[in-house]
Structure 1
Amino acid sequence: MTLLSFFSQGNSPEFIMFSAQHGIVIGVIILFVLGLYIGRHRIRRNRIVASAIRYGLVVVLALTEIGLNTWYFANDLWDVRYTLPLELCSVTLILSIIMLLARSNKLYQILYFAGIAGAFQALITPALAYGYPHFRYFEYFIAHGAIVLSPLYMTWIEQQRPTWKSIGWSLLFLNVLALVVGTVNYLLGSNYMFLNHKPDTASALDLLGPYPYYLLAEEGVALFFFVGMYSLFFVLPAKRKKRLASESIYKSKGVDS
């Protein structure tokens, strides 16, 4: 593939959901997540490495957004109705940069849920027309993978933790964002965040019914995912740790007696 075809609008391989090109890139992102988790203790002890990862994520997030808008302009595609950073993942990408730079716990409380869940859905059912090895293919998956990794970095390396209240704040954030974006859609005739209709490509929204019912269903799905994420990764491990500690104390008392 030439540089022109790599970056141009036309002559692109088609992206096929759940194909090898999809599965491989998801596998690569999972490896990065596992690597961050497995190495969390060593990274935490080495502030130089931790800072390099934090600022590296900032650079990756910024470059993907700059690259995307450069691609829009280069191909004469930039249009306020379609290319403003008003999709959920575009907003969480920008907020992730701010969160990482400021080590903001307030943004973390929202992005752990809204950022990871939104990017995860986008990774599993991409609204993407350009396949491997086009620029948009790499930009899309690198950006969404970095959005997932950013709150995980804050969790495993900076040791920040969400709470039950974080779920409420995340849902409030999503609804306020939908109100703002919906107003923009009304003024511009746009469809940011797919508030007016579903994407043209297949997506998870196809499972949630027709307009406008899928918008209401999204509320329930978001709540389900947020509660599941918090319970699976924080509540259950805490209960298991507490149970093991209690068993250890009981056994030690038995030995002493």
Structure 2
Amino acid sequence: MDTFFASRTEEHFLAYTLPHFIVLAAMLLLAIAMFRFKSAIRSNARAKTFIRIALLLCLIIPEAALYAWYGAEGLWDVQYTLPLELCSISQMLAVIMLLTRSRLLYQIVFFAGIGGALQAMFTPDLVFAFPHFRFFHFFIVHIAIILAAFYMTWIEQYRPTWKSIGITMIFLNILVVIVGGIDYWLDANYMFLRHKPETASLLDVLGPYPLYLIIEELIALVIFTIMYLPFLRRKGSTAA
């Protein structure tokens, strides 16, 4: 148990080792299962409630445990531990979305939540390796963000639109201004707005500061457009 909650570790997380492949496979299998059985889940009120509550618990409990761990280990630091990363914000929005079934929040979580969480899953900014508590927290929360958006899409039958992309881009730019101001005030680096992360990430190939911020925004726009294409094709098939 001491090792599970240790504040320091000598064995750092390495991407694309067996534990990483296992959690990536788990994410894929859970998404496939939700899609495969979406009609059965949709027609069963108890199943819908169970999945929605399970997603809420996976979003809330690990995060609550994280802040309890910060406090217990004396790791609380406003420069590093505030919930101001994109995935932390998407996580909070996903919780509110699941509780209120907000269509506005769904649009943001679908694009920004899935996009950000997938990047985090494939290029984790993570120090602690399996089986540390932080390993489980990181992957459970990011998988839950993705599945929450899929739940609203496949089970609740919400759909994004072209307008949703614009709403998400506006939201992200407002967020950059707010978080960027907090970064400057606290001498922090939330959302990597002042420099790239210390560990390997996709930002490494996007050029120096501040160029990578501009390129990152253009890439986000392209990714959101690609994410919307299946819905555009479905509309065309329905019209035909």
Query: Is residue 2:7 matched to residue 1:9?
Result: yes
Tell me the residue number matched to 1:74: 72
Query: 1:13–1:133: 8 Å Cα contact kept in structure 2?
Result: no
Query: Is residue 2:231 matched to residue 1:238?
Result: no
Which is higher, the Rg of structure 1 or of structure 2? 1
- Residues 1-257 of structure 1: matches in 2 within 5 Å? 3-11=1-9, 13-231=11-229, 233-243=230-240
Query: 1:12–1:134: 8 Å Cα contact kept in structure 2?
Result: no
User: What CA deviation, in whole Å up to 9, does each residue of 1:52-107 have, x standing for no partner?
Assistant: 11111111100111111112112211111110000000001011000000011110
Displacement of 1:236: 2.2
> Separation in 2 of the partners of 1:31 and 1:191?
34
TM-score by length of 1: 0.91
User: What CA deviation, in whole Å up to 9, does each residue of 1:214-242 have, x standing for no partner?
Assistant: 000011110010000000x2112333455
Amino acid in structure 2 at the alignment position of 1:40:
K
Q: Which runs of 5+ in 2 are unaligned?
A: none
TM-score by length of 2: 0.97
Amino acid in structure 2 at the alignment position of 1:204:
L
Query: 2:34–2:151: 8 Å Cα contact kept in structure 1?
Result: yes
Cα RMSD after superposing both structures: 1.1
Displacement of 1:11: 3.4
Count the aligned residue pairs: 240
User: What CA deviation, in whole Å up to 9, does each residue of 1:182-229 have, x standing for no partner?
Assistant: 010111100000000000000011111111000000111100100000
Tell me the residue number matched to 1:246: none
> Separation in 1 of the partners of 2:94 and 2:13?
27
Displacement of 1:12: 5.0
Q: Which runs of 5+ in 1 are unaligned?
A: 244-257
Quote the sequence identity (%).
48
Seen in structure 2, the aligned counterparts of structure 1 residues 123 and 193 have a Cα distance that, compared at 3 Å, is: same
> Separation in 2 of the partners of 1:229 and 1:106?
17
Amino acid in structure 1 at the alignment position of 2:35:
Y
Amino acid in structure 1 at the alignment position of 2:233:
L
